[in-house]
Structure 1
Amino acid sequence: MQYRKIGRTDCQYKGITSEMNMEKVIRFKTMIGYCYLYPDKIIMARNGNPEEVNLKNEEQRLWKHLVFYTITGLLLAWLAYMDRDHLPMCLWLGLTSAWLLFNVLRSIFQKSSSSALIERDKIRSVRFKKGVRYLTRSRFIVVFEDRKGCNRIRYILLPGSLNDGPKATEEALIAMRDSGYYPFSSQEGSLTGIRKYNETEGKESGTG
């Protein structure tokens, strides 16, 4: 795999030195924070600092949302039934309820995950789905194996059209490709590429 040289001032990449392995880490912006691409793992951070991610809270976040959407959907369904004599309002409440409950069931059957940490050796596949302008967001779909050995799906949603989405999507694609996560490749390929990047930047620093 070929890795292009990355400038230190390139806005697509932010060099972050890890205290554990002193490796350069590639990151890109997501809908709610940043995605950090390490040679051996992916970390999603909401506040921009991967060292402060609470993995347990992030894993439970999806279930909290599903419970909230389920309660809201059932409440709207009950309101639609109570307001059945007023067709427009009943129809709106019913459709909204159906949409919420459908998404809850889809997340459960797809085994969606909100995990903030995905280890590279647990990843089974990575796909990219381009969004529809002003309607849906572009996203990466990561299939990985959890601690129980079950395949789970993690969506990495990118910024929307109103938040410079096309540019952010392009930067995310370049970052994922150069780190070997999309198309997904072995860890050895990623380590080689990032080492080349580190060595090149080190030489520039020494001659600057």
Structure 2
Amino acid sequence: MDNEKTFKTKTGFCHILPDKIVLTRDGIIGKVTTVSVGNNISRILIIYGGLSIGLFYFAFDNYRNGQIAQPILFGFLGVYLVYGIVNSINNSATPIIDRQKIKEVKLKKAIVGLTRSRFEVLFEDDQGKVKKRLIMLPGSLTNGQTETEKAIKIMRDEKLITNC
């Protein structure tokens, strides 16, 4: 693989090849991600669903017992998790994306101290559904700014970014 077409991600590396994008996982974080998520995010969404059901139960139970603040807090957290599930339902964790099936690649810049930069790759999967693959870039504690600039340059050179 051409070293100039590879950049670091949150959990490994992204290799931009002429016909596909390959995401590899490296190190401890990559291994934990492989075990917990694999190539499918349904496991995470099921966990979020279970947590939101539990939060709604505690909100209802506390409301029945005359509490005011706790049901509001638990209800808000439950709604937030359901919102996350709905927004993530079309996400994918596939490690290989065929470049011919890519519809769009957007760069989402980091909010300093809150989020990290990422690429959102919209592509068509084998069943013809449009899926979104997030490519999370390194954070500020792991030389994120330099790596993000390198990733943006590679994506521009390959004419993949549509909003930058």
TM-score by length of 1: 0.66
**Equivalent position amino acid for 1:94 in 2:** G
Residues 30 and 156, structure 1, Cα contact 8 Å, conserved in 2 = yes
Moved more, 144-153 or 157-166: 157-166
Q: 1:59 matched to which residue of 2?
A: 39
Q: Deviation at 1:121? A: 0.9
Question: In 1, distance between residues paired with 2:100 and 2:55?
Answer: 43
Q: After the TM superposition, which residues 80-99 of structure 1 pair with which residues of structure 2 at under 5 Å, given as runs?
A: 80-84=59-63, 85-99=66-80
**Equivalent position amino acid for 2:73 in 1:** W
Deviation digits for residues 78-130 of structure 1 (CA, Å, limit 9, x no counterpart): 1121122333322222211111111101222xx22111110111111111111
What are the ranges of 5 or more consecutive residues in structure 2 without an aligned counterpart? Answer: 28-33
Give the 4+ runs in structure 1 shifted more than 3 A: none
Report the aligned-residue RMSD: 2.1
Residues 134 and 162, structure 1, Cα contact 8 Å, conserved in 2 = no
What are the ranges of 5 or more consecutive residues in structure 1 without an aligned counterpart? Answer: 1-15, 17-23, 49-53, 185-208
Question: Is 1:133 matched up with 2:112?
Answer: yes
Larger radius of gyration: 1
Percentage identity across paired residues of the two chains: 34
Deviation digits for residues 158-194 of structure 1 (CA, Å, limit 9, x no counterpart): 122333322221121112122332249xxxxxxxxxx
Q: 2:142 matched to which residue of 1?
A: 163
Number of aligned residue pairs? 152
TM-score by length of 2: 0.82
